[in-house]
Amino acid sequence: MYLSDQSPYYQDLFRTEGIDIQSISAANLDQIPFTTKTDIEKHNTAFEAINRKSIVEYVTTSGTLGEPISIALGQTDLERLAYNESQSLGLCGITDEDTILITTTLDKRFMAGMAYYLGATKIGATVIRSGIGDLHFQLDNLNRYRPTTLIAVPSFAHKLGLFLNTQNIDPANCSIKKIICIGEPIRNADLTPNTLHSKLTDLWNCPLFSTYASTEMATAFTECEHGNGGHLLPELMIVEVVDDEGKKVEDGDLGEVVATPLGIMGTPLLRYKTGDMARLYNEPCICGRNTPRLGPIEGRKKHLIKLKGTSVYPQQIENVLHQIDGINQYLLELSHNELDMDDLCIYLAITDDLNIETVSNQLSEQLRVRPQITFISDKEMSLKLKAHKSRKPSKLLDLRISN
Ligand SMILES: [Zn+2]
């Protein structure tokens, strides 16, 4: 097997754990210990299964949970990514007739933008590599090329839609006919559309498709037109969802996503614990596909907050904030207090006469928590958001992890 021949880390693991890799199949994969982000951080180069001459590219994770880790890609990994994304875009109904505006980062060692580019061109679609931000440049692209599909972080798609309104353009009547949403969930845990989804639909009046992937697993889960969770590409990955003890949870129960991507050349991983919490559904989808579907990411395992005995994920707080009118921007700051308990401070930049009580009551009603809330100006918010360097527009500062 490739890993026992090529991966120094797994050679060592199989030897110390006494694992005969020949006897392992998908059915008894659970005999292999999990690989964690910390394992990769500690032994990053030992995970590389090819030499530098065969590495065509290095990409890194976003580092939202600590130091970014390097993933080496070989030539076949690029081809695999192109296949993965062509299948994934195919689930959203993208064909060679489409023109796609990619508004995610295409450089900075980022895998996602490059993967979309490879997949879209493999399908034969036309691509506009627009990159992140710059609303006037996005408008220029919309006017010049009349793209049919937008690939964007949902909150950016929202911002772009509002900007078009200020330019006397109705997003619902522009050339965009579907939006592929990455990085932020657009559904509630029960798969119903969340507030962000509704706000986007109100603006753009077109179907939204959620897609979830990570640099380490190099494989995407993407929704079909029924929005019933992201379909697994079973030829590219084995997925497990496990509880705190590492045992598989029941179908539809919340647990940590564990990924074993298949056919990786550069940095192959076995049973990688992603840290992402979600639910897996095995019953066939309305679309007729039998592949398992993954629900929205409900939180990051490490970001779980315990506030006076109530456990809550930052994502749940964000979902409530999205429902409240008058919030321009927000930042969640997590820290440990002097008693080593979790503390959450929510910074809000607001538009009109919103008061703290309204926000506090909403959080209390829906999540039974009353964190500290501070109103700050838009300028102060921009400074705070700029202060932490991230490629993603992060709205969470977890001082418990980086300290
Ligand atoms: Zn489906």
Q: What is the pLDDT of residue 12?
A: 96
> What spacing in Å lies between the alpha carbon of 281 and ligand 1's midpoint?
11
DSSP string for 224-276: -TT-SSEEP-TTTEEEEEE-TTSPBPPTT-EEEEEEEESS-SSS--SSEEEEE
Distance from residue 284's CA to the centre of ligand 1 (Å): 8
- Residue 389: helix, strand or coil by DSSP? coil
Give the distance (Å) from ligand 1 centre to CA of residue 288.
7
Q: What's the pLDDT score for residue 396?
A: 84
Nearest Cα residue to 212 out of 195, 229, 236, 189: 229
Categorize the per-residue pLDDT at 1 as very low, low, confident or very high, splitting at 50, 70 and 90: confident
Give me ligand 1 centre to Cα 291, in Å.
8
| Å from CA of 226 to ligand 1 middle | 6
On whether the CB atoms of residues 219 and 259 are closer than 8 A, the answer is yes
Q: What is the pLDDT of residues 107-135, one digit of tens each?
A: 999 999 999 999 999 999 999 999 988 99
Mean pLDDT over 334-339 rounds to 86
Q: How far is the CA of 86 from the centre of ligand 1 (A)?
A: 16
How far does residue 285's CA lie from ligand 1's centre (Å)?
5
Q: How far is the CA of 398 from the centre of ligand 1 (A)?
A: 35
Cα separation, 114 vs 339, in Å, equals: 45
220-256 pLDDT per residue, tens: 999 999 999 999 999 999 999 999 999 999 999 999 9
Helices within 99-226 (DSSP H only): 111-123, 135-145, 154-166, 195-204
Domains for the chain: give ranges and CATH numbers.
1-297 (3.40.50.12780), 304-402 (3.30.300.30)
Residue 40 scores a pLDDT above 90: yes
Q: What is the pLDDT at residue 226?
A: 97
End-to-end CA distance of the chain: 40
Distance 286 CA to ligand 1 centre (A): 6
Query: Ligand 1 mean position to 231 CA, how many Å?
Result: 7
Residue with tokens 């508004």: 103
Among the listed ranges 25-39, 138-152, 186-200, 324-338, which one has the minimum average pLDDT value? 324-338
Cα–ligand 1 centroid distance for 251 (angstroms): 17
Find the 39 Cα to ligand 1 centroid distance in Å: 35
Mean pLDDT of 375-379: 91
pLDDT at residue 202 above 70?
yes
Is residue 332 predicted with pLDDT exceeding 70? yes
Ligand 1 mean position, distance from CA 282 (Å): 11
**How far, in Å, is the centroid of ligand 1 from the Cα of 224?**
5
The answer to whether the Cα torsion of 143, 147, 151, 155 is positive or negative is positive
Q: How far is the CA of 158 from the centre of ligand 1 (A)?
A: 25
> What integer is the mean pLDDT of 257-266?
97
For residue 354, how far is its CA from the centre of ligand 1 (angstroms)?
40
Query: Cα(262) to centroid of ligand 1, in Å?
Result: 22
pLDDT tens per residue, range 78-112: 999 999 999 999 999 999 999 999 999 999 999 99
User: Which tokens sit at 290?
Assistant: 């039998």
Does residue 272 carry a pLDDT above 80? Answer: yes
- What is the whole-number distance in angstroms between the Cα of residue 222 and the centre of ligand 1? 9
Mean pLDDT for 180-196 is: 93
Please tell me the distance between residue 296's alpha carbon and the centre of ligand 1 in angstroms.
14
Per-residue pLDDT tens digits for 57-83: 999 987 665 678 999 999 999 999 999
Centre of ligand 1 to C-alpha 294, Å, is: 11
pLDDT in tens, 160-182: 999 999 999 999 999 999 999 99
Measured in angstroms, how far is the CA atom of residue 214 from the centroid of ligand 1? 21
Residue 149 has pLDDT above 70, yes or no: yes
Per-residue pLDDT at 391 exceeds 60: no
Render pLDDT for 205-220 as a digit per residue (tens, 0 to 9).
Answer: 999 999 999 999 999 9
Q: What is the mean pLDDT of the chain?
A: 93
- At residue 403, the pLDDT reads 39
Average pLDDT of span 150-156: 95
- Ligand 1 centre to CA of 247 (Å) is 27
| Mean pLDDT within 275-294 | 96
